[in-house]
Structure 1
Amino acid sequence: MNQPLSTQEITSAVSDSLQQDVGDIRTRVRDLTLRALQNRRLEADQIREVVRAVAQGVSLGAEHRAGEVKLALAAALSGLDDALAKAAQATRLALQELLAKSKDFTDQDLKSALDDLKITEQAFLDTLGQVADAASSKIRQELKDAVEHVRRSGTDTGASVKEALSELGNRLSATLQVSKIAGQEAAHTLNSRLAALASGILAGMAEALREKSEPGQK
């Protein structure tokens, strides 16, 4: 695993992205978020850390942008949402793979992993709201309006989480049996394996998206 970007590096890179053409912002923010996520464990606290750093970069960049601020904010938040949706998809695929390969986890062992997945969208929106509240007076209202629009219109992250929970919920009882590992240890083992596997899957998704957005480049 490569050295992960620090939160300061994430914020700075996202802020710089907000100075680009509006048409490029969504892809830049999405790719930066994916890069930050794939070099971390896909666990709730680390996802929140990345979301906060990206959101702070969006706020800072919008504050220094010369024009089209509303469009830039919408594009940036859409890119962040897209990256988090990909992270939810990666977690779903990782959990499916673990369920297919291992019988050592019970329904109870999976509760922590599924609970983390369930709160992904709300954590995303709550963190955006907190950053908007703390933004400078110059950009605060526009950022709040952008966050409220995302909240009202729904997120790709929420759709991905809902799909994952529906699919996994239908499979759990049929797939899992009594654990051979003590409950707390099993939950820790599952979360560790799930986070590592999901990060690897997300890295593959990110690479595919980069190749698609940069045709002809190696």
Structure 2
Amino acid sequence: MAKTAGIDQDALIDMFSQATAKQGEALRTAVSTATLRALQGRELTLSNIRSVLKTVTQAASAGAAKNDARAPDIESMLGSAFGGMDAALLQAVEANRRALQQFVDQGMGLQEGRLKTALAEIEKMEDTLFATVGKAAQGAAAPLQGPWSQVLESMKLKGTDTGTQASAAVEQLMTQAQTALRDSRAMSLRAGQAMMDSYAALVSGVLIGMSEALQQGGAKPAETATSTPRSKR
């Protein structure tokens, strides 16, 4: 079986080639699981996220191209694929938030070097999702161009869970960082630098831990920063 970026593309292709519009939730779950597992197998950088999203989009497109379903049904299936990637990326946002929380709790400012970059990357998650899927979809078979375009336009109007979570996480972290500074908590420079140097690996570890907690019946990992309304763009 073909495996790129840690994803069994053949399995996804077969699933989308044989699916019906009624199996939307099953497709969404399969894509979310495949995406999340691939993200867990590498450092959680934007570059690696793009690679995974590209591979998943290509696999879903290849499978849908073999499906004899009507265009509206194909659009529904591709919408499920996008939803699955959004669900997985939502967990990546939460993993970043939890990792940054460790720095904030120890009094480190979010304007410092790597942390400032990490915060900016959280804000870019939704744009990365749209840009990567959109670019990968352009290489899909001609009959899929219309359905993919409709899916992307619809999601841009509706907004993604990833975008909502990212906005809430950034606002929460900034507020807590300001409070920590007022309380004069400060992490030692040496300890802070050591953690920052391995930030991507730290986030990957958090993401794996979140999934293990779910498997053991823990609370949903993305429930902490979802109460803040997402600002309109």
Q: TM-score range by the shorter chain?
A: 0.7 to 0.9
How far off its partner does 1:106 sit? 6.0
Residue 189 of structure 2 corresponds to residue 180 of structure 1: yes
Which of 148, 155, 158 lines up with 1:150 in the alignment?
155
Change (3 A) 1:144 1:11: farther
Give the Cα–Cα distance (whole angstroms) in 2 for the partners of residues 17 and 211 of structure 1: 28
Give the Cα–Cα distance (whole angstroms) in 2 for the partners of residues 83 and 198 of structure 1: 14
Change (3 A) 1:191 1:44: farther
How far off its partner does 1:201 sit? 2.3
Change (3 A) 1:135 1:90: same
Change (3 A) 1:140 1:119: same
Partner of 1:163: 168
Give the Cα–Cα distance (whole angstroms) in 2 for the partners of residues 178 and 201 of structure 1: 20
Give the Cα–Cα distance (whole angstroms) in 1 for the partners of residues 110 and 214 of structure 2: 35
Counterpart residue identity of residue 61, structure 1: G
Secondary structure in 2 matching 1:135 = coil
- What are the residue-to-residue correspondences of 1:87-166 with 2, within 5 Å? 87-100=92-105, 102-103=106-107, 107-109=111-113, 110-166=115-171
- Count residues in correspondence: 202
Gaps of 5+ in 2: 218-233
Change (3 A) 1:28 1:105: same
Identity level (%): 32
Give the Cα–Cα distance (whole angstroms) in 2 for the partners of residues 95 and 33 of structure 1: 22
- What are the residue-to-residue correspondences of 1:1-218 with 2, within 5 Å? 6-7=4-5, 9-18=7-16, 19-20=18-19, 21-67=23-69, 68-100=73-105, 102-103=106-107, 107-109=111-113, 110-175=115-180, 177=186, 180=189, 186=193, 189-207=194-212
Contact kept, 8 Å, 1:104 with 1:180, in 2: the verdict is: no
Give the Cα–Cα distance (whole angstroms) in 1 for the partners of residues 216 and 79 of structure 2: 24
How far off its partner does 1:197 sit? 2.4
Q: CA RMSD in A?
A: 2.5
Give the Cα–Cα distance (whole angstroms) in 2 for the partners of residues 13 and 192 of structure 1: 36
In proportion to residue count, which structure has more helix?
1
Gaps of 5+ in 1: 213-218
Secondary structure in 2 matching 1:15 = helix
Secondary structure in 2 matching 1:134 = coil
**CA displacement, residues 162-194 of structure 1 (integer Å, 9 cap, x when unaligned):** 01100011122343648725xxx94xx555433
TM-score by length of 2: 0.76
Give the Cα–Cα distance (whole angstroms) in 1 for the partners of residues 140 and 53 of structure 2: 15
Contact kept, 8 Å, 2:10 with 2:59, in 1: the verdict is: yes
Contact kept, 8 Å, 1:11 with 1:54, in 2: the verdict is: yes
How far off its partner does 1:104 sit? 6.0
Contact kept, 8 Å, 1:73 with 1:143, in 2: the verdict is: yes
